């Protein structure tokens, strides 16, 4: 190695010089003290001096090489000991704006008080800011990821704070002595229509997320738009696909969120189902491509998480013990389970009625009505008001003649009870005339956008049939 070679050379040169000095010095001393050694016979004194010099020479020969080796030894490897340093302030981690503006991103579980403490800002300053109008709510309901900027010099007190009061307004509060001055910065937004499309590999949620859909949009597609035609628990298979047209809201190039779905297609089981949002008589609904409502007139089972405990027809009454006609069906469920309106309706009756106990009767028009009995309590409804399908009208109980908590449900056609599980439900009213023409004109651009996207994304897929609905 280079260091070793250089060391050996230095050592050799040092020893040569030392030998020369040693020889010349010893020779000079010998001539000085032992002149007879070179000219005549040695006396006892000469032998004493010679022994002394020989001892000195031996000691020198032993010590000097060791000293030389010590000089020549390479330095030990350099090692650095890591010292624990105090954590950097949260603002330093996030970067700075200018020479004093520091941006902090709120962490999960972090409170405003903890943040001000980390920045060494007095609590009195925080309380002054919170007392400013319209500030407390914005600063005390901070979500993880929210950014707050502080004008905080390296040495000195807080000069200003900047935060978002709402999605459209950024507020800057400047401290001037005892005064707080407010500056509101408008943050305009833009809206654009986009098409999101995806193919299902593992789950609808994963495919929707990959396509850029929010959880709200995914749930709207599954639980609202297509729930009458597609069973998302049983029907969905890998390879199924969907497309969605919706509006996105942008602010300074940042996506804030999306609005309601304007149009959608879903292909499963070799069929494609379509949905278009359209307002009829001031009420927004989803229709298929022909103008027929996707929402069915009635929900066959107006109660979730229940089992059919008694069927329609003649039976022995569980309390009276007599054979009599059971004019509805019973759904056993836990007390307090919500009960929904089977269809759009006017509330005809709310109150107690003989063996039904607490009962609600709904009038759906066109000769159709439904009855819901044995409720523990009523929902927030009153007789005479109009309610949409799915409204919670009450809760499961066992009032009246009942042996346990359940819903007694009757479906009536022109006043006559029919079996709710087998009766043919009336079809929803389709669009006609001017409404149908307006619908077609409105939906044509959305349909063209979805088709153009799908032609590119699914060029290798087999063409699907148009779905016309599967559930009555």
SS3 244: strand
Q: Which residues contact 73 (CB under 8 A, 6 or more apart)?
A: 7
Q: What is the CATH number of domain 307-418?
A: 2.70.70.10
Binned at pLDDT 50, 70 and 90, residue 92 comes out as very low
pLDDT at 137: 81
Binned at pLDDT 50, 70 and 90, residue 288 comes out as very high
pLDDT digits (tens, 9 = 90+) for 328-344: 899 999 999 999 999 99
pLDDT at 78: 34
d(CA 396, CA 374): 7
Binned at pLDDT 50, 70 and 90, residue 58 comes out as low
Residue predicted with more confidence, 384 or 403: 384
Looking at CATH, the fold of the domain delimited by 190-295 is given as Nuclear Transport Factor 2; Chain: A, (3.10.450)
Helices and strands per DSSP (H, E), number in the chain: 10, 24
Query: For 118-134, what is the mean pLDDT?
Result: 87
Query: For 217-243, what is the mean pLDDT?
Result: 87
Is the model's pLDDT at 18 over the cut of 60? no
d(CA 276, CA 265): 9
pLDDT at 47: 62
pTM: 0.55
The tokens for 446 are 């959305």
- Domain parsing of the chain, residue ranges: 18-52, 91-186, 190-295, 307-418
Binned at pLDDT 50, 70 and 90, residue 371 comes out as very high
Residue predicted with more confidence, 36 or 249: 249
The tokens for 139 are 């600063």
SS3 222: helix
pLDDT digits (tens, 9 = 90+) for 151-197: 988 777 888 988 888 777 888 888 888 888 888 888 777 888 888 88
Place of tokens 């001055």: 181
pLDDT at 88: 38
Query: For 17-26, what is the mean pLDDT?
Result: 53
Q: Which residues contact 426 (CB under 8 A, 6 or more apart)?
A: 297, 298, 366, 368
Is the model's pLDDT at 308 over the cut of 80? yes
DSSP string, 84-114: P-PPPPHHHHH-EETTTEEEEEPPTT--HHH
**The domains spanning 190-295 and 307-418 adopt the same CATH topology:** no
Flag the least confident range among 96-100, 303-307, 400-404, 435-439.
Answer: 96-100
Is the model's pLDDT at 354 over the cut of 60? yes
Q: How many CB atoms lie within 10 A of CB 467?
A: 21
Across the chain, mean pLDDT equals 78
Binned at pLDDT 50, 70 and 90, residue 72 comes out as very low
Its CATH architecture, for the domain 91-186, is Roll (3.10)
SS3 316: strand
Q: Which residues contact 232 (CB under 8 A, 6 or more apart)?
A: 204, 222, 226
The tokens for 301 are 């089972």
């Amino acid at each position: 190695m280079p260091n070793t070679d250089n060391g050996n050379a230095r050592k050799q040169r040092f020893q040569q010089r030392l030998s020369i000095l040693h020889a010349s010095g010893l020779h000079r001393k010998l001539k000085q003290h032992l002149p007879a050694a070179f000219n005549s016979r040695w006396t006892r004194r000469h032998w004493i001096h010679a022994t002394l010099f020989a001892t000195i020479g031996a000691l020198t020969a032993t010590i000097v090489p060791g000293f030389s080796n010590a000089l020549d030894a390479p330095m030990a490897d350099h090692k650095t000991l890591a010292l624990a340093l105090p954590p950097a302030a949260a603002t330093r981690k996030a970067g700075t704006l200018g020479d004093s503006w520091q941006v902090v991103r709120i962490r999960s579980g972090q409170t405003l008080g903890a943040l001000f403490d980390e920045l060494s800002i007095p609590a009195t300053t925080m309380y002054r800011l919170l007392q400013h109008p319209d500030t407390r709510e914005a600063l005390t309901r901070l979500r993880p990821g929210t950014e707050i900027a502080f004008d905080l010099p390296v040495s000195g007190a807080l000069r200003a704070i900047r935060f978002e009061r709402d999605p459209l307004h950024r507020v800057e509060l400047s401290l001037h002595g005892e005064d707080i001055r407010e500056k509101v910065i408008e943050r305009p937004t833009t809206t654009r229509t986009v098409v999101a499309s995806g193919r299902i590999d593992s789950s609808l949620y994963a495919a929707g997320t990959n396509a850029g859909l929010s959880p709200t949009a995914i749930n709207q597609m599954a639980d609202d738009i297509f729930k009458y035609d597609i069973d998302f628990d049983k029907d969905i298979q890998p390879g199924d696909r969907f497309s969605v047209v919706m509006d996105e809201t942008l602010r300074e190039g940042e996506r804030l969120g999306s609005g309601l779905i304007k149009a959608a297609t879903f292909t499963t089981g070799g069929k494609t189902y379509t949905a278009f949002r359209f307002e009829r008589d001031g009420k927004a609904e989803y229709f298929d491509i022909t103008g027929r409502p996707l929402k069915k007139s009635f929900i066959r089972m107006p109660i979730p998480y229940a089992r059919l405990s008694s069927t329609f027809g003649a039976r022995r009454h569980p309390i009276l013990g007599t054979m009599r006609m059971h004019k509805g069906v019973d759904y056993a469920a836990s007390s307090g389970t919500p009960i929904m309106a089977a269809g759009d309706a006017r509330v005809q009756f709310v109150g107690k009625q003989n063996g039904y106990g607490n009962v609600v009767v709904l009038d759906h028009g066109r000769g159709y009505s439904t009855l819901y009995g044995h409720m523990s309590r009523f929902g927030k409804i009153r007789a005479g008001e109009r309610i949409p399908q799915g409204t919670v009208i009450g809760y499961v109980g066992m009032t009246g003649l009942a042996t346990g908590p359940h819903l007694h449900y009757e479906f009536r056609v022109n006043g006559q009870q029919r079996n709710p599980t087998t009766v043919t439900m009336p079809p929803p009213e389709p669009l006609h005339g001017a409404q149908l023409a307006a619908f077609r004109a409105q939906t044509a651009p959305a349909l063209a956008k979805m088709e153009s996207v799908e032609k590119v994304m699914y060029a290798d897929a087999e063409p699907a049939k148009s779905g016309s609905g599967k559930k009555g």
